[in-house]
């Protein structure tokens, strides 16, 4: 029989198939093909992107030329545009606003075929640190209230370009899904004077069965209230509100952990498409206590259908306890 589990943060139910868990080999496979040919993110094609806004490169080389390791450029086809003031207006019933925001691409490496697991540790560190640098820089623009950092890997996760990259979008409002998570965490903190994520970490470390691995600063685990099969969270063990509050040692450790986790997901699940999203605190708003940043990695193994769209419930064919066992053994 299936089991309903309730997310204590955003009050969503998930339906977990505990009787008949789907195994890694039972999911439909997606072949992720790397085409050769012109890629705007490859070495030598720097002129085909907008000018770089930040870069890690050999000091002897020139901007927008080869010689870089991590390169950040504005998205050529941005969902939102950086120039202008926010203008909200009503149209009858509705509210409208112009599309102000930043939309940047963090090109993780010059190598078209090297995703995070294929990079050296120090190269992943550079990527992780660049995420911080861009967030810190955009934080200064007080129009922005939230910075979303996310990665789409593979076509079914929504990636349109193969070359390893991460996206960053700075928004003039706190988006709905983020606000819900924040509200849940703040409410819990007000009521209990404890961080709900710290409590989750405590319970997960005590029950052990969903932990994939633990390091000095972080744990990687399949949360009890996973929305997707083989969902993995990486979270700092000690309370920390925002991604950018990591010190150098934490950045180094997170790089190893992210690389290792993505490698396991690749091995166990036959190189699936995935999204990862950095969940962090909002910026340029009144500070409230109770949020704890983390990364949510969601392999795309199933398709969201009418039931999920209609209810906001998620059906999880592999319980996180089973998923963690596979990922641990890998």
298 binds its own copies (CB under 8 A): yes
- Angle of helix 121-139 versus helix 248-268 axis, rounded to 10: 120
99 binds its own copies (CB under 8 A): yes
Q: Which long-range contacts (CB under 8 A, 24 or more apart) does 17-20 make?
A: 17/315, 17/316, 17/317, 17/318, 17/319, 18/319
Main-chain phi, psi angles of 322, to 5 degrees: -75, -45
Q: Is 136 in the site for its own copies (CB under 8 A)?
A: no
> Which of 49, 64, 81, 263 is close enough to bind its own copies by CB under 8 A?
81
Please state the φ and ψ torsions of residue 295, each to the nearest 5 degrees.
Answer: -115, 130
310 binds its own copies (CB under 8 A): yes
Check residue 89 for interaction with its own copies (CB under 8 A).
Answer: no
3-state secondary structure of 272: coil
- Cβ atoms of 224 and 319 closer than 8 Å: no
H or E stretch at 276: strand 274-279
Local structure of 326: helix, strand or coil = helix
Residue of 4, 33, 47, 60 interacting with its own copies (CB under 8 A): 4
Q: Using the rule CB under 8 A, is 96 a contact of its own copies? A: yes
Distance CA 231, CA 207 (A): 18
Closest CA to 28 of 324, 276, 299: 299
Residues in region 225-264 near its own copies by CB under 8 A: 225
Using CB under 8 A as the binding rule, whether residue 33 contacts its own copies is answered as no
Q: Among residues 325, 314, 307, 302, which one has the least CA distance to residue 26?
A: 302
Indicate which residue of 51, 103, 163, 165 is catalytic: 165
**Which of the residues 173 through 202 are near its own copies (CB under 8 A)?**
173, 175-178, 180, 196, 199-200
Of 112-120, 131-139, 157-165, 287-295, the window that binds its own copies (rule: CB under 8 A) is: 157-165
Which listed range, 91-99, 126-134, 212-220, 251-259, lies at the site for its own copies (CB under 8 A)? 91-99
Out of 13, 43, 111, 186, the only residue in the binding site for its own copies (CB under 8 A) is 13
Cβ nearer to its own copies, comparing 48 with 311 = 311
**115 CB neighbour count, 10 Å cutoff:** 21
User: Number of residues in contact with its own copies, rule: CB under 8 A?
Assistant: 65
Query: Does the footprint of its own copies cover residue 163 (CB under 8 A)?
Result: no
Q: Does 216 bind its own copies (CB under 8 A)?
A: no
Nearest to 50 by CA among 75, 68, 71, 70: 75
Please state, in angstroms and rounded to a whole number, the distance separating the CA atoms of residues 75 and 85: 20
**Residue (253 or 323) nearer to its own copies, CB:** 323
Q: How many C-alpha atoms does 68 have within 13 Å on its Cβ side?
A: 27
Active site residue 103: no
Q: Which residues pair with 55 in a beta bridge?
A: 71
Interface with its own copies, residue 3, by CB under 8 A: yes
Q: Which of 112, 313, 328, 330 binds its own copies (CB under 8 A)?
A: 313
Mind telling me the catalytic residues?
165
Task: Tell me which residues touch its own copies (CB under 8 A).
Answer: 1-6, 8, 10-13, 15, 79-81, 91-99, 148, 150-152, 155-159, 167, 169, 171, 173, 175-178, 180, 196, 199-200, 203, 207, 224-225, 275-277, 279, 298, 303-307, 309-313, 315
């Amino acid at each position: 029989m299936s089991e309903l589990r309730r997310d204590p943060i955003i009050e969503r139910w998930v339906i977990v198939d505990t009787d008949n868990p789907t195994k890694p080999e039972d999911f439909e496979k997606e072949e992720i093909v790397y085409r050769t040919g012109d890629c705007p993110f490859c070495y030598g094609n720097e002129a085909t992107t907008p000018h770089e806004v930040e870069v890690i490169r050999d000091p002897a080389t020139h901007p927008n030329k080869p010689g870089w390791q991590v390169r950040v450029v504005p998205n050529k086809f941005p969902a939102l545009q950086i120039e202008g003031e926010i203008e909200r207006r009503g149209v009858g019933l509705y509210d409208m606003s112009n599309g102000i925001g930043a939309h940047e691409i963090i090109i993780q490496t010059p190598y078209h075929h090297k995703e995070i697991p294929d990079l050296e540790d120090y190269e992943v560190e550079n990527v992780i640190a660049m995420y911080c640098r861009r967030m810190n820089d955009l934080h200064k623009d007080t129009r922005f209230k939230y910075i979303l950092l996310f990665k789409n890997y593979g076509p079914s996760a929504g990636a349109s370009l193969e070359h390893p990259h991460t996206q960053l979008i700075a928004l003039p409002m706190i988006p709905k899904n983020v606000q819900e998570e924040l509200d849940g965490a703040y409410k819990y903190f007000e009521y209990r004077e404890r961080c709900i994520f710290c409590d989750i970490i405590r319970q997960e470390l005590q029950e052990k069965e969903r932990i994939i691995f633990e390091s000095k600063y972080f744990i990687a685990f399949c949360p009890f209230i996973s929305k997707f099969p083989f969902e993995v969270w990486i979270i700092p063990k000690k309370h920390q509100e925002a991604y950018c509050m990591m010190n150098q040692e934490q950045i180094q450790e997170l790089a190893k952990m992210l690389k290792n986790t993505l490698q396991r997901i690749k091995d166990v699940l036959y190189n699936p498409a995935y999204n990862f999203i950095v969940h962090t605190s909002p910026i340029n708003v009144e500070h409230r206590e109770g949020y704890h940043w983390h990364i949510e990695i969601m392999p795309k193994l199933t398709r969201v259908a009418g039931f999920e769209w209609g209810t906001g419930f998620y059906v999880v064919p592999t319980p996180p306890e089973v998923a963690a066992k596979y990922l641990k053994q890998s």
